[in-house]
Amino acid sequence: MGVLPVDRMMLGLTTHNDTRESEKFLRLGTGVYARQVTARRAPADRATADRATAGQATADRATAGRVSAGQAATGQATAEPPLRADAQRNRERILTAARELFREQGTAVALDDIARRAGVGAGTLYRRFPDRDALVRQVIIDGFEICLAAVETAHQELADPAGALDRLFRRVIEQRERLVLPLIGGPVVHDPRVQQLQHAIRDAVEDILTAGRAANAVRDDVTAEDLITAAAMACRPMPHLPGEVSAALAARHVAIYLHGLRPEGALPLPASAPTAKEVGRHVAMEGRNPKES
């Protein structure tokens, strides 16, 4: 399932945010409402929407925490003021609902369904995330940051590389409900923040593997790409299974995989390892409609 761009005219919602407008949006549907909003929206409103979009993008860059000091300083100067407590709660509710529905139905799920599950109006969702790509991008960045935190913790445990790998996989699996890595499609793979996070994760995993090989705790032919792909596969959603069954299966898969990393009695691996580029595309684009490739 790919990321399907939402009509940019939805930005009209950022300047027509009262209850009547939200109800009208839900009643008329995307196309009719967007045409009506566009017809009556003044140039000043258009400029306000553009500034809101730019401010959201700048805030996202700062949130990702992977920009230079100079860029961060610029972002602080142009970003919107900090969200009020209620606005921040709404944002988190939207992201939580998006994660759940992306795992259940894929990223092509209707944005109105996400707003409904979050318990917010359509206008509230579009003020925070002006289109589908913006929402998907934030969900995936949040997921990569969770992975990076787990990898960095394991990186501090290199005195016991085998244990570090075991704990790394288990930390990732424990957070799998917040990870939608195998479902992401569209332009997210080209986002510089996503790429920076992917590179940081890959480099840290390679350091852990290097320590494991030196300690004879990990077989020599295992690559960082093998581990990253295995983690993504272990986090695949299983929405038709009860939560406890899904968790047990994921834990068993991890245990089997970790056992296979040991060098004792290991048979040669079939084929060659995937490249970093191939894995990056897999993690960010798995689940796309083949017609969209």
Q: How many domains does the chain have?
A: 2
pLDDT given at position 278 = 62
User: Do 126 and 155 have their domain in common?
Assistant: no
CA distance 253 to 233: 10
Helices of type H across 66-191: 69-78, 85-105, 111-118, 122-128, 132-155, 161-174
Residue 116 predicted with pLDDT over 90: yes
User: Do 123 and 268 have their domain in common?
Assistant: no
CATH of the domain at 280: 1.10.357
- Between these two residues, 120 and 285, which has the higher pLDDT value? 120
**Domain-located, residue 51:** yes
pLDDT given at position 81 = 61
User: Do 101 and 170 have their domain in common?
Assistant: no
Least confident interval from 30-44, 116-130, 252-266, 271-285? 30-44
**Domain-located, residue 41:** yes
pLDDT digits (tens, 9 = 90+) for 123-182: 999 999 999 889 988 998 998 899 999 999 999 998 998 889 988 988 888 888 787 655
User: Do 213 and 274 have their domain in common?
Assistant: yes
Domain range for 175 is: 136-292
Residue 251 predicted with pLDDT over 90: no
User: Do 206 and 146 have their domain in common?
Assistant: yes
pLDDT digits (tens, 9 = 90+) for 41-88: 434 434 434 444 444 444 444 434 433 333 333 333 344 566 688 888
- Between these two residues, 11 and 133, which has the higher pLDDT value? 133
User: Do 140 and 127 have their domain in common?
Assistant: no
Residues near 195 by Cβ (< 8 Å), separated by ≥ 6?
189, 280
Of 109, 132, 155, which residue sits at a domain end?
Answer: 132
pLDDT digits (tens, 9 = 90+) for 81-111: 666 888 889 999 999 999 989 888 888 899 9
pLDDT given at position 2 = 40
User: Do 112 and 146 have their domain in common?
Assistant: no
User: Do 44 and 182 have their domain in common?
Assistant: no
pLDDT given at position 260 = 76
**Domain-located, residue 225:** yes
User: Do 145 and 118 have their domain in common?
Assistant: no
User: Do 122 and 140 have their domain in common?
Assistant: no
Average pLDDT over the chain, rounded to an integer: 70
User: Do 111 and 144 have their domain in common?
Assistant: no
* DSSP secondary structure code for residue 13 in this structure: G
Of 88, 112, 132, which residue sits at a domain end?
Answer: 132
Rounded to an integer, the average pLDDT of 238-245 is: 72
pLDDT given at position 80 = 55
**Domain-located, residue 2:** no
User: Do 142 and 256 have their domain in common?
Assistant: yes
Q: Measured on CA atoms in the order 222, 225, 231, 237, is the torsion positive or negative? A: negative
pLDDT digits (tens, 9 = 90+) for 193-211: 888 998 999 999 999 999 9
Single out the residue of 265, 288, 261 nearest to residue 186, CA to CA. 288
**Domain-located, residue 3:** no
